[in-house]
Chain A
Amino acid sequence: MTKNLIQPLESYRLAQYAWPVPCYICESENTFDAEFCTRCSAPMALAHQTSAQQTAPHMISVIGPSGVGKTVYLGMLVDMLSRMSNDMQLLARGAFSITLQQTTIAALSRCRFPEKTSNEPDRWNWVHCQIRRARQKQPSELIIPDLAGEALLEEIDHPGSYRVIRAVLKKSSGAMILVDAAKLQEGRRDHDFFTMKLISYLNELDELPKRKKCARPLALVMTKADRVEQCLDDPQQFAMTHATGLWQQCQERFRSSRFFAATVAGACAWRESHSEGRCQIPLRVEPHGIVEPFLWILEQLKIKPPNGRK
């Protein structure tokens, strides 16, 4: 049986094809129907959503070494903020912004950690959201990407290998650097060095004259603090004792920086499985210190409503 279909004349689409759409992250030109930017692989949905707004959204980057817990932290942060109702609320803009929250929460509720973020930028999760605060009449807009740790390391060691990372970090108004508190306590310096590299990289991007401090706020979040009681009790003191180099770098290079302790899993164990081998699993989920660094960054940025009114 044949079906008669009426094809509308979509000549307006041709006009849209002719008009290039700049990527929100790297600002290179793309066609109207491109899903990802051809240059940096950032989702073009960000460009479409932000083009309709009067002011550009702020960007906050959550960075750190591989396995430090960036995806868990970000997914948990988004979920907690979206479930808060009094002072602050987060509303995701676009279905793609919910994917990170969905995968993280689905995994954690089953006592698993989410899968490692792929190194391919077109498979990264991006959160574009609206922040509504009790004191502000107008909501503010934020974009937070979930970058892969290994890709970050690659970009730092070989600049230009991941253009999207360079573009994101350059555009970010504030940054959260995640450090593994348990590894700091063990005295393993690899995370410490990686974080110092990240700080130097951020400084280079700002292209500041010598002796001038970076203006963007930097929150250093020490994750997996449930295993380090001292870190939960006093994160500043813990950082001064166990990450002295990092502490000094922050003091010297950033105008406002602060250390925080965060934890998602109350306790962890090792799961031995025939199919997946040996992997770490959370025995329960008890988030602590997740929202505080984010609120501090917002406070430092003094994010104003989109139209500039308070």
Chain B
Amino acid sequence: MSKIQQVAVLFLVSQLALMSLFVGLFFNVPVAVAGGGAGACYLVARIAWFYRKWRIAARGKAVVRQRPRPAAHAEIDPSDTDALVKQMLAQGRYALLLRPQVAKGLGKEQLAEAFERLQDGMALAPDGEVVLGRLDQALEDGILEEHEIAACAGRVIKVKQFFLDRYPVTNRQFYEFVAAGGYEQMSFWDQSIWPAVLEFVDRTDCPGPRYWEEGCYPLDKEDHPVVGVCWHEANAYARWVGKRLPSDAEWVKAGSWPVPVSHDNRVQRKYPWGDMFAARCANTWHAGIGATVPVTEFADGVSVGGVHQMIGNVWEWTSSNMRGEELRGYALTSDVPAKALRGGAFDTYFENQATCHFQSADSMLARKPNIGFRCAVGVCDLVLARAVQPLRDEADQSVDNAEEIPA
């Protein structure tokens, strides 16, 4: 029954009830009085039911519209270091606390807490060499010329040890940056891009990723990777949390986990989980989902170092430029400046384009629904010795205690 029909029925019942009540009382007819009374009761019950339904709907809408509360919701006294550190930890800016310039002003416990957060959020990739641009056999079909094949022999790059985010940056994490006024703090943005920052708005013209509304992500996608961000937005976020975007070589190293088998040769995985594609390990076109999923899903695709979703779900921005000749054996040019992308996304059609070796690229200003990012930080950029010391002391203490118990 439509709303108009419901109102019409209510109106009729109320009229009938009033009439019968009036007639019953005036002519002293008990049946009419009873009928009128019943009608009036029905009317009251119906109105109460409508009111209850309206309250539930209003409450539901209120829940849907409720925006998440950012960690930086209250003003903090800049001299209150403890509160400031807590806020930064809640915002996920632990790497910034471990930077030498900041760390020297912090206590041991604060540093230890930041280090713990670092270990939870990031995985360590050790020093070593990685080969970029080796010809993928799946792409070679006999049409390449000799010099092109020779150019695709690969390029060995040395990578220093670094930490890489275990998961892509989520909507919730990026929301902290937006809520903290990241789009207004120009120090996080390259000077060359300042005029364009005003154009980095969401669907409602508020600063934020392209597919957000009113400066907030869709609430059912809190733990999905943030998408609709260009390379500059990703870079600004990374600076804000005290990290940076991984280089192309770093990304490949963390995913393919090269193992040296001789002085000039190494084994590199095609996928983080091995050399065979497995649909259960990555959200690509094969998974049939056709959209992003929470970053914790497809856990089977975890890399040796403990990094999740390197393949599938969203392409990831890297700090490197799009490479042509060195990687593919031929020169590659783009109409606009482009940055390298890695990993494949939920809509990547071919398995051989969602591997650790495959490099794609896009315009630095592209804000697409299938491009996100994760951050990295070099071990040499952090003060780890001081941060680890309290943990070591604690561990030594616990060992001592363990020895003491039997005694």
Closest to A285 in B: B349
Within the assembled complex, what's the spacing in Å between the Cα atoms of A269 and B330? Answer: 12
* Residues B334 and A269 in contact, CB atoms below 8 Å apart: yes
| Contact indicator per residue, chain B 321-362, by CB within 8 Å of chain A (1) or not (0) | 010100000111111001001001101111011000000111
Residue contact A111 to B370, C-beta cutoff 8 Å: no
Question: Is B330 touching A109 in the complex (CB atoms < 8 A)?
Answer: no
Task: Collect the chain B residues with CB atoms within 8 Å of residue A267's CB.
Answer: 338, 360-363, 366
Q: Which of A254-294 contact B (CB under 8 A)?
A: 266-267, 269-275, 281, 283-288
| A275 CA to B330 CA, complexed, in Å | 10
Cα distance A110–B135 in the bound complex, in angstroms = 11
Using A110-B141, A266-B362, A284-B360 as known contacts, say yes or no to A271 and B353 having CB atoms under 8 A apart.
no
By a CB distance below 8 angstroms, the chain B residues around A288 are: 347
Q: Mark A84-112, 1 if CB is under 8 A from B, else 0.
A: 00000000000000000000001011110
In the complex, per-residue mask of B293-335: 1 if CB is within 8 Å of any chain A CB, else 0: 0000000000000000000000100000010100000111111
Give Cα distance in the complex from A286 to B366, angstroms: 15
Contact A284 B353 (CB under 8 A): yes
Please report the total number of B residues contacting A with Cβ < 8 Å. 32
Using known A-B contacts A109-B353, A266-B362, determine if residue A273 contacts B330 with beta carbons closer than 8 Å: yes
A110 neighbours in B (Cβ, 8 Å): 139, 141
**Known contacts A109-B350, A111-B139; is-contact A286 B332 (Cβ 8 Å):** no
Cα distance A266–B215 when bound, in Å? 27
Q: With A106-B141, A267-B362, A283-B361 as known contacts, state yes or no: A272 contacts B330, CB within 8 Å.
A: yes
A227 to B173, CA, bound (A): 29
**Is B220's CB within 8 Å of the partner chain A?**
no
Chain A interface category by residue count: 20 to 34
Closest to A76 in B: B349
Give chain B nearest CB distance to A110 CB in angstroms. 5
* Residue B145 lies at the interface, judged by CB distance under 8 Å to chain A: yes
CB of A199, distance to nearest CB on chain B (Å): 31
Assess whether B330 is in contact with A286, with CB atoms less than 8 Å apart: no
A281 proximity list for chain B (CB < 8 A): 332
What chain A residues lie within 8 Å of B338 (beta carbons)? 267, 269
Footprint of A on B, CB under 8 Å?
A: 138-139, 141, 145, 147, 285, 315, 322, 324, 330-335, 338, 341, 344-345, 347-350, 352-353, 360-363, 366, 368, 370
A selection of 17 A-B contacts at a CB cut-off of 8 Å is: A109-B350, A109-B352, A110-B139, A266-B370, A267-B338, A269-B324, A269-B332, A270-B334, A270-B335, A271-B331, A272-B331, A273-B331, A283-B322, A284-B315, A285-B353, A286-B348, A287-B347
List residues of A whose CB falls within 8 A of some B CB: 106, 108-111, 266-267, 269-275, 281, 283-288
Q: What 10 A-B pairs are tightest by C-beta distance, nearest first?
A: A272-B331, A284-B360, A286-B347, A285-B349, A270-B333, A283-B360, A267-B362, A109-B350, A269-B334, A273-B330
